[in-house]
A and B are shown apart, each in its own frame.
Chain A
Amino acid sequence: MKVLKLFLTVIFILLFNMSPLVPIVHASGIIKIGSFLALTGPASFLGDPELKTLKMYIDQINSQGGVLGKKLELVYYDTAGHAKSAKDIVKRLIQKDRVDVIIGGSTSGTSLAVIDIVQARKIPFISLAGSIKIVQPVKKWVFKTPHTDRMAAAKIFEDMKKRHITRIALITGNGGFDKSGRAQCLDLAPRYGIKIVADESYGNADTDMTTQLTKIRATDAQAILNFGFGKAPAIVAKNVKQLGIRLPLYESHGVASKKFIALAGDAAEGIRLPAAALLVADKLPDSDPQKKVLLGYRNMYEAKYGPVSTFGGHAYDALFITVGAIRRAGCLDKAKIRDEIEKTKGFVGTGGIFNMSPEDHLGLGLDAFKMLEIRNGTWELI
């Protein structure tokens, strides 16, 4: 008897714990946008501005009456950059929170991990991560807004070609962004007549990269290319300076934020990197169609949170592409929203002007990237 009672109690406790978690009936009058972002962990500097941007603009849209007369609601969770948690979270978003669209995946790993699920569950998903593998080959339900690592590599190689650089040293971290960028560089370099004479790697939590750079110094490289994000590229920049290496240093779009300049200090001077126009918005000619959008986003973000980065801009683009698609679809039918996202044409975002098509789920050209050089602690267009 006692056993039975206890067993029932256990069951009861389990049920009690479950009851608030039983799927909530989808409330009409709300459009649910699900999001999974790297809010902690090494990639948190991506997820953080992305979340802030989404929150800020969803509040703004709601205060202006919402979309189709419905309010937007953001449901988000932290992946800490882990692919396994991203998968579980996306399932949770679809199954438990019953979101209408998903915007998120700060890192390529987390984005790639959830593709199978969104494809199977047929839900529109706009990724905020860089890897070209996310949209190539094209997956029906998967889109993305950031420029690809392949575009970044191409942009850098174009610039190198202009400077008659043919032999470069590559140094990358061990994260997904770094590794994927490295693969694209290795793949693209021959097309630009560039030979990679050193291919070094570091751990993203390492404290010092002088060893790798010393090896690079001993080669006949004419420039150094560092694909990475977070604190490591700043250490690389400082170590390059410390070792007295006078080669041009290229960084990727992973360091397109004021933070990098602040961290690297003097060592940042002269570094070139490809980045979205957002960083140099005020230096664009007034005729540039992006200028108004960029200044608008930047001013609003900086008024509320401080220095802007291009990463938050990706979330801006994804949110407004989604909102536009929902408006055009006129309903919350997921297939219709997806079709409309795919039909996005001439959308002026922070990353560039998006022209999507069934063959291109990104819709940005190489011209969306600007080549920048850091001078006197800020970016200059070159």
Chain B
Amino acid sequence: MLDQLIQFLITGITVGAAYALVGLGFAIIYNASDVVNFAQGEFVMIGAMSAISLIDMGIPYGVALAAAVAITVCVGLALEKFAIEQARDATVVSTIIITIGASIFLRGMALIVWGKDIYAMPPFSGEKPIHVGNATMLPQNIWVMAGTAASVLLVRYFFNRTATGKAILACSYNMKAASLVGINVRKMLLISYGLSAGLGALAGILIAPITYITYDSGVMLGLKGFSAAILGGMGNPMGAVAGGMLLGLLECIGAGFISSGYKDAIAFVVILMVLFFRPGGLFGSAQAERV
């Protein structure tokens, strides 16, 4: 029983780490611009796909991964520049549709570039299972966990310590005030899109060796990332990370102890319950209307 539980936890944390990274991307963009970017999942797919293609071309592993992140960041910047910035005054629902349109567009692009094939990526460091008691994990599981932990710390550092990070935070509190004190709001928005795209790509690269990638892999991951961000509380990036971890664990515990067929339903029931009792997510604050 304990062995099983440990195995569930390992799986849950790995899956959750990926959700956390995607959720973090959602939260960063939401924080900077109040937009929920439903194309976040596509960043994951593009990151993984580009990395695989570059590796196949014979480019050294490390370079390929870095280049894949760079490509995805460019896609993220382009999305901000050509879609989001053009629709500055759009309402919440309109921006939702725009980002959904963007996600369909990017998926369509991937379909043309990569076709419908399933792609596999060689793991970072072999496939020899590591034993933890009777439970096992792959070296890649450790990469996923470590990669997520490192990027979460970096993001924290970026927002708490660097001038640019603080400027983005300022935009999130009050865009007008931020621009009055001389912060270039446009540039901050671009940076946050680039950052989220990069995080998405990183998530894709980390999990690609565990799972496989197709042009439509982004849909599910995007959905789970969004759920993670909401579960944690939209305005709080670290909440999104916690939400992602929780979601991953929920799925694995649900599948392990209740029913694997209904595991996603179980996770969503828990999310609904959380929202019913904490309408602002676990670590967020409920917004109140100002009179």
A touches B (Cβ under 8 A): yes
Chain A residues near B220 (CB-CB < 8 A): 203, 205
A218 CB within 8 Å of chain B: yes
CB of B62 within 8 A of chain A?
A: no
Nearest Cβ distance between residue A233 and chain B, in whole angstroms?
A: 11
Within 8 A of A (CB), among B1-58: 4, 7-8, 10-12, 14-15, 18
Asked if B256 is at the interface (CB within 8 A of a chain A CB), the reply is yes
B260 touches A41 (CB 8 A): no
In the complex, A256 Cα to B251 Cα: how many Å? 30
CA of A235 to CA of B208, assembled, Å: 11
> Can you list, as one digit per residue, whether each of A14-53 has a CB less than 8 Å from chain B (1) or not (0)?
0000000000000000000000000111101100100000
Contact mask for chain B residues 131-159; partner A; CB cutoff 8 A; 1 contact, 0 none = 00001111000000000000000000000
**Known contacts A40-B111, A202-B260, A208-B210, A263 near B118 by CB under 8 Å:** yes
* Nearest A residue (CB) for B131: A244
Whether B4 pairs with A174 at a CB distance below 8 angstroms is no
Let me know if B255 is at the binding interface, CB within 8 A: yes
- Contacts A48-B116, A242-B129, A263-B118: A214 and B214 contacting too (C-beta < 8 A)? no
Check if A242 sits within 8 Å of B207, measured CB to CB.
no
B72 within 8 A of A: no
When the two chains form their complex, are residues B261 and A45 in contact, meaning their CB atoms are under 8 A apart?
A: no
Asked if A207 meets B211 with Cβ closer than 8 Å, knowing A214-B7, A242-B136, the reply is yes
Q: Which residues on B sit within 8 Å (CB–CB) of A82?
A: none
> With an 8 A cutoff between CB atoms, is B216 at the interface?
yes
A211: chain B residues within 8 A (beta carbon): 7-8, 11-12, 251-252, 255-256, 260
Size of the B side of the interface (Cβ < 8 Å), in residues, is 39
Assess whether B96 is interfacial by the CB under 8 Å rule. Answer: no
Residue interface mask B197-230, A partner, CB < 8 A = 1: 0000000000100111010110111000000000
The answer to whether residues A235 and B212 also contact, given A48-B116, A263-B118, A263-B120 and a CB cut-off of 8 A, is: yes
Given contacts A207-B207, A235-B211, A244-B129, contact A214 B256 (CB under 8 A): yes
Q: How far is the CA of A210 from the CA of B263 in the complex (A)?
A: 14
- Of B111, B118, B129, the residue contacting A45 (CB under 8 A) is B118
- Known contacts: A200-B260, A242-B129. The answer to whether A210 contacts B120 by CB under 8 A is no
The residue in A214, A231, A259 that gathers the most chain B C-beta atoms within 10 A of its C-beta is: A214
What sequence of 0s and 1s flags, for each residue 98-130 of chain B, a beta carbon within 8 Å of any chain A beta carbon?
000000000000010000111010000001010
- Inter-chain contact A40/B4, CB cutoff 8 Å: no
Select which of B135, B211, B260 is within 8 A of A212 by beta carbon.
B260
Shortest C-beta distance, A265 to chain B (Å), equals: 8
Q: Most B CB atoms within 10 A — which of A48, A207, A259?
A: A207
Chain B residues near A55: list those with CB within 8 A: none
CB contacts (< 8 Å) of B138 on chain A: these are 242
User: Is the C-beta of A201 less than 8 angstroms from some C-beta in chain B?
Assistant: yes
Residues of A within 8 A of B14 (CB): 208
Question: Given the known A-B contacts A231-B211, A263-B120, are A215 and B4 also in contact in the complex, defined by CB atoms under 8 Å?
Answer: yes
Which residue of chain B is the closest to A259 with respect to CB atoms?
Answer: B118
* Distance between B256 CB and nearest chain A CB, rounded to angstroms: 5
**Complex interface residues of chain B between 248 and 272 (CB less than 8 A to chain A):** 251-252, 255-256, 259-261, 263-264
* Cβ B211 vs Cβ A208 within 8 A: yes
- Tell me, rounded to whole Å, the shortest Cβ–Cβ distance linking B249 to chain A: 11
Distance to closest chain B CB from A341 (angstroms):
31
Contact with B along A38-79 (1 / 0, CB 8 A): 011110110010000000000000000000000000000000
Q: Is A10 an interface residue (CB 8 A)?
A: no
Taking CB as reference atom, which chain A residue is nearest B256? A211
Which listed residue (B11, B111, B118, B207) contacts A210, Cβ 8 A? B11
A243 beta carbon closer than 8 Å to chain B: yes
Name the B residues within 8 Å of A235 (CB-CB). Answer: 211-212
Given A207-B211, A210-B7, A214-B256, also A40-B261 (CB < 8 A)? no
Contact B211 A214 (CB under 8 A): no
Residues of B within 8 A of A243 (CB): 7, 129, 136
CB distance from A326 to the nearest CB of B (A): 31
CA distance A306 to B224 in the complex (A): 36
A44 nearest in chain B by CB position: B116
CB pair A205 B217 closer than 8 Å:
yes
* Chain B residues closer than 8 Å to A242, beta-carbon distance: 127, 129, 136-138
A-side interface residues toward B, CB under 8 Å?
A: 39-42, 44-45, 48, 174, 200-203, 205-208, 210-212, 214-215, 218, 230-231, 234-235, 241-244, 259, 262-263, 265-266
Q: Which residues of B approach A to under 8 Å, CB–CB?
A: 4, 7-8, 10-12, 14-15, 18, 111, 116-118, 120, 127, 129, 135-138, 207, 210-212, 214, 216-217, 219-221, 251-252, 255-256, 259-261, 263-264
A-B contact pairs, 10 of them (CB 8 A): A201-B260, A203-B264, A205-B220, A207-B15, A207-B221, A211-B251, A214-B7, A214-B8, A241-B129, A266-B127
Given A205-B219, A208-B11, A211-B12, output 12 extra A-B contacts at Cβ < 8 Å: A41-B216, A44-B116, A45-B116, A174-B261, A200-B260, A201-B259, A205-B220, A210-B7, A211-B251, A234-B118, A243-B129, A243-B136
